[in-house]
Structure 1
Amino acid sequence: MWQAFHDFALAAYHMSTIRFDKSVAPPGDDHFVLHLDLKHENVLLCEPPTSRNSLPYPTLKVGDWGMAEYTSRQDVNNSKRWKCYGTICWFPPEQRKYGAYGSDWTYPILGGPDHPFTISHTIWQMAANIYGMMQLDMDNQDLHTRINDWESAETSLRHNGYSVLRGWKNPHYTSTLRHLVEDCLNVDPTRRPTPVDLVRSTKKGVDAWVDEYRRKGKVEKLRLG
């Protein structure tokens, strides 16, 4: 799971740093790519990496870029043009209800319907895929329900640091991995890790398992449901 998360993190980093020619770039100086439909059907398992710094599991790659947009926070199309792009149960909070999720809160942290998306939108969708794999919920129904239910409990949500996974347990995975997923799925986009932070954190997780792989010479078999 760590390696899959790290592959996602590397993709997010490239999406946040890629630069196209100025002739096709929207206004702004913080350009990034939004996939807008990151779900398990659009994630590919490819050949395992050959580096000794990785585990011999399939490399995860993001596919189906048909809805993707190259944008910036100053782009007039961001986000009003893309509110309906993607699959509803995979929408992060800032995209739900046409951007009106939490708009009646005492502290409407998401900024309202015209607030632009950031690369945190991508971080959320990637973590949603990881959470789905960890919970064996490929259609994201559990997280989808949690997000919807918590909208009516602003005070409790704020008390929990805007986490919809506070107290989440899964005996098959470490608390370090669970907490990282929880951070990435925070309702508040500004509290989610940056792509650089996510690359760094997931690399630490992978390295621990690579060290064990080198000692034992084998890894657990990959089980596909």
Structure 2
Amino acid sequence: MARIGLTHLDEPDFNPERYLVDYDPANFHPRKVGKDLNQQWYDARKHRGAFGGKVESEVFMLRDLHFEEDPDHDAEWGPVRLLGAGAYGRVGLWQKRNAKNVLIDELALKESILVRGADVKRTEGSKINQDRPRLLKEAVIQHDLNVKDERAAPHLRRYKFVSDHRSNKEGRYRMYLEFCPHGSLDHLRRLYRAWDHYLPEVFVWHVFHRLAISCEALRDQPPAESLAIELDKFSSIWDDQDDEALICLHMDMKPQNVLLGYEPEDPEENDYPEPKLSDFGLSEYTGPSDDRNPLFYWWRGTTAYKATEQISYGAHWVTPPNGAMVRTHDDRKRRLDYKRAKHMQRVYNQANYAGDVSFDHSLNVYGVGTTMYAVATLAKDRRLMRIRAKHYKKYRQNGNHQISKVRTKLPGVYSSRLRELIRRCIDPDPSNRPSQLELMDATRKGLRVAEDRALRAREKHHAETGGSPDEIPPPLPSEKLYYHDHEINNLPQGPAGFKPLMDDFNYLIRDEFVNPDIPRLKLPAAKYRKFPDSWNKPKANWRTLYSKTNREYLWFRPVN
């Protein structure tokens, strides 16, 4: 699939005169069907459920985009479908087409709502709020990463705050992002789990290396002029900012936050979608003299993917894995359990800024490790929490580790090199995890070895099947990644034997964010035959799914 538009040429302007959209009651209302929007187009999109199942989502999709400075040019952008929604906002796909109805540009709009009275200290930051009202710290950090390495995160094309109040006390933060057409890594791994197949090892190494590249951008010193660096939060930052060794903590790495972009433009590089780390809403710049570390960072993240030092793993053991103080007993010599030791650790680190726990770049490395653990094992989110060592004796038996090894349901699926590197990344002791340099080198070498092994397997198969020595051996079926649209429907059920779950229907078929314009998903009949046939349809039939790709050329406004 070819990349659309000139996404990489856009740069956000963080000047308030450029990103603040002044209050106008008209901005709050959606465009009118039959006047601004073609009635036939609207009915067709509603029939497919493209705008989600909630009124708020439809209103979000039908409002003006406010991407272009010229209102006439901005009016040429039309909504396509809802990509996601959560507690903090929504994401939707917009496209721009020319007079011949040919797609010329596209973007993903991420919008979060500011309600009156909301505490914006964390999301905007004190430094930002003084000079740049209503500027999201998340947007600044993502732009910083784009500047350091375009491969690290989806490109932030523009940023706006659309005011819904004369004093800007209410409104909508809007981030206009590069669109990643192949969804999330989590969606792909769920598909492969449903079909009882493991992902090709070359692709797994490809993801691993791309996350290492994202980690490199997080570890590198941010631009000195970055608006997301809150110097007032550092107790003893030096005049030379480089001496502080600032890093960015992502604090919410997981497969859901890794998006799959377009394939490389050079077909000889590889034909896999490019993974990109996304969602920097919980991210923060920190350093050795950051007064907020760890006090303000314990809670950030998704529980199943939090690093062991964030959850005070082993805080009540004789030798805590994270190198913290020993808290086997309280002041009255009573034996402590995990919950009380964890509480004591948090209280101590809150009262003592130079506490015994602090979060550094190894937290990012752990996030890469847990993400890759989920990708390699195809396990449910909380599996690592469930199987990790619960007591010190088991921890010692595992070789001072929370798990003995990275296991898959089928033996021999992945190389020991891959499994051991994942295990090292999720070591409970931050000092034992790979350094950033090690991570880059190990993933680069692992990818190269996996590609060489795949090439040798091609050549062997080509020779055994009587192929001409002058021909280039084609890729083997085992190398193919089924990620485009729902081509996985053509993949026979595999031998992995994962248990069929009701959640498979809810997430892969009945979810309101399933792409309505591609062939509907058909879960393996033999595996899911015990479930009611009605589960293969959206609840209450509020939308219609089709067996063929949508070929309609109707657009939201009349063409010519």
Correspondence for 1:162 among 400, 408, 433: 400
Q: Is the 8 A contact 1:73 1:117 kept in 2?
A: no
Counting only pairs closer than 5 Å after superposition, residues 12-161 of structure 1 correspond to structure 2 as 12-21=215-224, 24=229, 25=231, 26=234, 27=237, 29-50=244-265, 54-96=269-311, 100-110=312-322, 111=324, 112-113=345-346, 114=349, 115-137=357-379, 139-147=380-388, 150-151=389-390, 153-161=391-399
* DSSP-derived class of the 1:66 partner: coil
Rounded to whole Å, the distance in 1 between the matches of 2:482 and 2:384 is: 23
Q: Is the 8 A contact 2:377 2:407 kept in 1?
A: no
Rounded to whole Å, the distance in 1 between the matches of 2:267 and 2:399 is: 38
Asked if 1:209 corresponds to 2:468, the answer is: no
Per-residue CA deviations over 1:159-209 (Å, capped at 9, x if unaligned) read: 533322314433211111000000101111110001110110010111123
Counting only pairs closer than 5 Å after superposition, residues 183-222 of structure 1 correspond to structure 2 as 183-211=424-452, 212-213=454-455, 216-218=473-475, 220-222=479-481
Per-residue CA deviations over 1:8-60 (Å, capped at 9, x if unaligned) read: 11111111113232683543622111111111221100112345784321111
* DSSP-derived class of the 2:244 partner: coil
Per-residue CA deviations over 1:125-170 (Å, capped at 9, x if unaligned) read: 1111111111112x421112234xx24x213313533322314433
Amino acid at match of 1:169: R
Asked if 1:178 corresponds to 2:419, the answer is: yes
Quick one: structure 1 residues 53 and 166, their matched pair in 2 at CA, closer, same or farther if it must change by over 3 Å?
A: farther
* DSSP-derived class of the 1:94 partner: coil
**Highest relative contact order (Cα 8 Å, sep 6+), 1 or 2?**
1
Quick one: structure 1 residues 35 and 11, their matched pair in 2 at CA, closer, same or farther if it must change by over 3 Å?
A: same
Amino acid at match of 2:427: N
TM-score (norm 1): 0.86
Q: Is the 8 A contact 1:55 1:213 kept in 2?
A: no
* DSSP-derived class of the 2:270 partner: coil
Q: Is the 8 A contact 1:128 1:140 kept in 2?
A: no
Rounded to whole Å, the distance in 2 between the matches of 1:132 and 1:47 is: 22
Q: Is the 8 A contact 2:402 2:428 kept in 1?
A: yes
Asked if 1:11 corresponds to 2:214, the answer is: yes
Rounded to whole Å, the distance in 1 between the matches of 2:260 and 2:366 is: 20
Q: Is the 8 A contact 1:53 1:207 kept in 2?
A: no
| Aligned-residue identity in percent | 27
Rounded to whole Å, the distance in 2 between the matches of 1:69 and 1:167 is: 32
Rounded to whole Å, the distance in 1 between the matches of 2:359 and 2:444 is: 26
- In the TM superposition, what is the alpha-carbon distance from 1:73 to its structure 2 partner? 2.9
Quick one: structure 1 residues 155 and 17, their matched pair in 2 at CA, closer, same or farther if it must change by over 3 Å?
A: same
* DSSP-derived class of the 1:93 partner: coil
5+ unaligned residues in a row in structure 2: which ranges? 1-203, 238-242, 325-344, 350-356, 460-472, 489-560
Q: Is the 8 A contact 2:260 2:274 kept in 1?
A: yes
Structure with more helix by fraction: 1
